[in-house]
């Protein structure tokens, strides 16, 4: 292929989930020419099929500064950022403790955060829980409350960032899977079935498929691919305002204004990375439904209207890779968000743009280095 067939830009972003769209938005905002390549359509997998939790609550300590940046600088200011509120509702998030042992875990968690200078989580007792959620089962002992958290609508968020990135000049190509990347002098050439894109920098936000591109660069990680499920109920009368999780078992639970209830919480199922699809697992869904009816017995006879699944990359330490390549120049990775990347995504794009444009990020990203698996001896199997 001759040079006239190459499409030139400063940065090619691989993957049109929210990490990729946010990266494209921030990079274009910094004045770079950006092309984003998405294999299917933007938000098809983890970004479009997650529960939409805007959650600083319960995060790995290393993620908290990123989460608070996302909450303060983006989610509570979304109309100023992308011209749309993305369906954000500041409902607060509550992580339930169902026994005294879990209350002890809650107290130790919040004491640790306070010692590190973080005060966004607070322990609350059973009476406060009932004030927030009067319909909760009487066995609940208390929990951890994050009053500035909430939820948003993934589809609206994807559309808002896609539109804003495009308005800033980013070129977004859907139905354009990347086949391979290779260096060409000081540049990179990104190959698709119909075109080659030449750029100075690649941003790898390809989600469950990002590890494949890292492997091409000689830095495979122990990422695992799984399906991620959600289910939604028929409409019921309003009974809960906060978004709920649980300390002792997986749960992500919220009621929308239309009365439907969305139930998730890292509900895993098998995924086919090649076919790019996941199959719902009835047994896992039943277990999650049991958790919900334990907490809200009045929901026992409520029907499940719909179940869906997407494909996500999970890391063994449950935190993502946000890192320059350790083997080549001109590549930045952001993947492996392990079912909790939605809330982080506005800040991830900003941090990626800092790595690309400035050579360093404004937050400490060492815990997210792609080399940490070599450092820990946790090599791919």
User: What is the Cα–Cα distance from 165 to 174, expressed in whole angstroms?
Assistant: 14
DSSP 31: T
Q: What is the pLDDT of residue 1?
A: 34
Q: What is the pLDDT of residue 381?
A: 42
Whether pLDDT at 4 is above 80: no
The per-residue pLDDT for range 102-126, each reduced to its tens digit, is: 999 999 999 999 999 999 999 999 9
Supply the mean pLDDT for the chain.
94
Greater confidence (280 vs 350) lies with 350
Residues 320, 205 contacting (CB under 8 angstroms): no
Q: What is the pLDDT of residue 8?
A: 94
The per-residue pLDDT for range 272-302, each reduced to its tens digit, is: 988 998 988 888 888 888 899 999 999 999 9
Dihedral sign, CA of 93, 18, 63, 227? Answer: positive
Residues 278, 228 contacting (CB under 8 angstroms): yes
Whether pLDDT at 16 is above 60: yes
- Residues with Cβ within 8 Å of residue 376, at least 6 apart in sequence: none
Whether pLDDT at 225 is above 90: yes
Segment 124-149 shows an average pLDDT of 97
Name the residue among 88, 69, 55, 77 with its Cα closest to residue 337.
Answer: 55
Whether pLDDT at 5 is above 50: no
Whether pLDDT at 351 is above 60: yes
Segment 188-207 shows an average pLDDT of 96
The DSSP secondary structure of 245-298, one letter per residue, reads EESSS--EEEE-TTS-EEEEEEEEE-EETTTTEE---HHHHHHHHHHHHHH-GG
Segment 72-101 shows an average pLDDT of 98
Whether pLDDT at 3 is above 70: no
- Using a cut of 0.85, tell me whether the model's pTM lies above it: yes
Distances (CA, A) of 126 to 7, 54, 233, 300, 324: 60, 24, 27, 23, 46
Of the ranges 136-140, 221-225, 306-310, which one carries the lowest mean pLDDT score?
306-310
Whether pLDDT at 375 is above 90: no
The per-residue pLDDT for range 246-271, each reduced to its tens digit, is: 999 988 899 999 999 999 887 889 99
Percentage of the chain modeled with pLDDT above 70:
97
Q: What is the pLDDT of residue 378?
A: 58
Q: What is the pLDDT of residue 376?
A: 56
């Amino acid at each position: 292929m001759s040079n006239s067939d190459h499409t030139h830009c400063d940065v090619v972003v691989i993957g049109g989930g929210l990490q990729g769209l946010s990266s494209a938005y921030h990079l274009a905002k910094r004045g770079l020419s950006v092309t984003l390549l998405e294999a299917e359509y933007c938000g098809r997998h983890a970004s479009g099929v997650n529960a939409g939790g805007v959650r600083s609550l319960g995060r790995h300590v290393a993620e908290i500064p990123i989460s608070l940046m996302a909450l303060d600088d983006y989610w509570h200011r979304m109309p100023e950022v992308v011209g749309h509120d993305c369906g954000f509702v500041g409902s607060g998030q509550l992580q339930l403790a169902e026994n005294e042992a879990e209350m002890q875990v809650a107290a130790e968690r919040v004491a640790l955060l306070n010692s590190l200078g973080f005060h966004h989580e607070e322990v609350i007792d059973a009476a406060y829980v009932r004030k927030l959620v009067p319909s909760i089962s009487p066995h609940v002992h208390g929990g951890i409350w994050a009053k500035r958290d909430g939820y948003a609508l993934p589809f609206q968020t994807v559309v808002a960032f896609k539109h804003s990135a495009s308005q800033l000049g980013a070129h977004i190509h859907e139905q354009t899977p990347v086949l391979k990347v290779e260096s060409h002098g000081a540049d990179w050439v990104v190959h698709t079935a119909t075109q080659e894109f030449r750029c100075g920098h690649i941003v790898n936000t390809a989600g469950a498929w990002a590890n494949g591109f890292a492997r091409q660069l000689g830095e495979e990680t122990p990422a695992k691919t799984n399906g991620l499920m959600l289910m939604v109920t028929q409409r019921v009368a309003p009974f809960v305002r906060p978004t709920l999780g649980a300390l002792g078992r997986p749960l992500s639970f919220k009621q929308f204004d239309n009365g439907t209830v969305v139930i998730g919480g890292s509900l895993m199922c098998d995924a086919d990375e090649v076919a790019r699809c996941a199959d719902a697992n009835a047994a896992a869904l039943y277990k999650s439904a049991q958790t919900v009816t334990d907490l809200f017995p009045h929901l026992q006879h409520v029907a499940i209207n719909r179940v869906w699944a997407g494909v996500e990359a999970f890391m063994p330490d449950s935190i993502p890779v946000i890192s320059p390549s350790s083997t080549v120049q001109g590549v930045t990775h952001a993947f492996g968000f392990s079912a909790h990347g939605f809330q982080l995504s506005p800040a991830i794009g900003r941090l990626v743009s800092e790595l690309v444009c400035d050579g360093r990020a404004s937050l400490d990203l060492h815990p997210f280095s792609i080399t940490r698996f070599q450092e820990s001896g946790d090599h791919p199997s």
